[in-house]
Chains A and B, each alone.
Chain A
Amino acid sequence: QLQLQESGPRLVKPSETLSLTCSVSGGSMNSNSYSWGWIRQPPGKGLEWIGSIFYSGSTYNNPSLKSRVTMSVDTSKNQFSLKLNSVTAPDTAVYYCARHLGYSHGGEWIDPWGQGTLVTVSS
């Protein structure tokens, strides 16, 4: 059974870079049937798609965040990562990593999800 687990600092200072890693277990990332992505949820609010990365390294981003987001993948370690730069308080959220499935390289639906990690932006 595929499982995903987020890890990284829980507290980030304003203007700095948020960095998270997702570790994938129970399956291989080397597949052209999936991509791997990030979704966030501010406390008490709805979900926002951040972006996804194909195993080859091709990335697909939410246009509203595109300029601040960098994603990478390391299939040898079964991990992929997210960096969000120049963070401010509104970037405070639970960040989920997840597998994206579907027909395009970016994926059309999401399953399964990691448990999520709360990242707080504060000085």
Chain B
Amino acid sequence: QSALTQPPSASGSPGQSVTISCTGTSSDVGVYDYVSWYQQHPGKAPKLIIYEVIKRPSGVPDRFSGSKSGNTASLTVSGLQAEDEADYYCSSYAGSNNLVFGGGTKLTVL
């Protein structure tokens, strides 16, 4: 299984919206609605912010939203805040009880 493809960086000003893409294949993102997203601040463990493409765990602000079209999933952060500056990783179920991660995207709030 190959890693999912994410842009290495993204940026936006406070209050703006930014979208991070996550491209897989017809063996993972394209066939399963089990894409999840994780936020990781420096020196901290990743935190689940989106699962099953569009669902948010309790306590995650609704500024975070997920979507999927074909083999590409996306995470949108609306109303950017300074605290959103972090690394973001996507993950997808890849069948046969396997998971695959993306390479990560560093989000900078300008």
Interface footprint category on A: 20 to 34
Chain A residues whose CB sits within 8 angstroms of the CB of B98 once the complex forms: 49, 60, 62-63, 106
B64 proximal to A (CB < 8 A): no
Taking the closest CB of chain A, its distance from the CB of B95, in whole angstroms, is 9
Known: A63-B1, A109-B91. A49 touches B99 (CB 8 A): yes
What separation, in Å, do the CA atoms of A112 and B104 have in the docked complex?
Answer: 19
B86 proximal to A (CB < 8 A): no
Q: Which of A16-24, A73-81, A113-121 contacts B (4 or more CB under 8 A)?
A: A113-121
Asked if B97 and A60 sit within 8 Å, CB to CB, the answer is yes
Which residues of B are in contact with A by a Cβ distance under 8 Å? Answer: 1, 3, 32, 34, 36, 38, 44-48, 51-52, 57, 89, 91, 93, 96-104
**Ranked 4 nearest A-B pairs via Cβ:** A106-B97, A60-B97, A108-B34, A111-B48
Chain A residues whose CB sits within 8 angstroms of the CB of B100 once the complex forms: 49
Asked if B51 and A109 sit within 8 Å, CB to CB, the answer is yes
Residue-wise, chain A 12-47 has the 8 Å CB interface mask toward B (1 for contact) of 000000000000000000000000000100000011
Find the residue from B51, B89, B97, B104 having the highest chain A CB count within 10 A: B97
A92 proximal to B (CB < 8 A): no
A52 proximal to B (CB < 8 A): yes
A7 proximal to B (CB < 8 A): no
Find the residue from A39, A104, A108 having the highest chain B CB count within 10 A: A108
